[in-house]
Structure 1
Amino acid sequence: MCPDFQNNFGVTSYIGFLDSLIDNADGVKYLRKSHILQNFLGSDDDVAQLFNEIGTDLVPNNAIYSDVKSKIEDHYKTNWKKWMAQFFHEHVSSPWTILAFTGVLLELGMTAANSGTAPCEALLEYLKERGY
């Protein structure tokens, strides 16, 4: 470190943050699939080992990325986001399924609207017969 200038330890904090996200090859795989990391070392285990070794002697400023980490943790705690992602991953795999799903939703909406107006029409007929 150079004593001539002030340093906010941004790089070491970022490496420390990545080290906190990467414990094994699964963390590397997720970050690689999300296009956050590119693996030029060969295996995901090698990258995980590299980050775990680099992060042992760092003195990062954890306050910089604590809000990011808490937002990531909050994101994974919400169940409906998981369910929506799982639904789209499993059931919406082509434009045809999206079109069919949209058609079904439209048909259900039209049926509900028609069912909702039928009692109103019957009430109007009844009131007309009674002279109201």
Structure 2
Amino acid sequence: MPIDATQPYDDSNIFAKIVRGELPCTKVDETEHSLAFHDINPLAPIHILVIPKGPYVSWDDFSAKATEAEIVDFTRLVGKVARDNGCVEQGYRMLANIGKRGGQEVPHLHVHIFGGQPLGPMLAR
């Protein structure tokens, strides 16, 4: 169910639990401020999630409140994960669902990296 990205951060969400080590994940990479792991329900041969470790609900929340170090770290990890997983040569898609109309289901900022096959049109009609 899509969430309201304007609401306060809920530290009981699944990604917060993963960051705290309360739930397992198949880790791809990790930095001081960010974590990348395989999606448990992959929609493409490569489907990796990259999240900031801090309590940010959405891109708006993150861009307004994160430190410069967190923003740089997160952005660089997204690029590194794409490179390290062979996505750059063939092309890939980055997707961040934000809020109700964007279809965001977890109230923690996350970027999906999809690759490994042709991905079709950007939006289904």
- TM-score of the alignment, normalized to the shorter chain, above 0.5: no
Larger radius of gyration: 1
Category of TM-score, reference length = shorter chain:
under 0.3
Report the TM-score, using the length of structure 1 for normalisation.
Answer: 0.22
Answer 1 or 2: higher relative contact order, Cα 8 Å, separation at least 6.
Answer: 2
- Which structure has the highest helix share of the two? 1
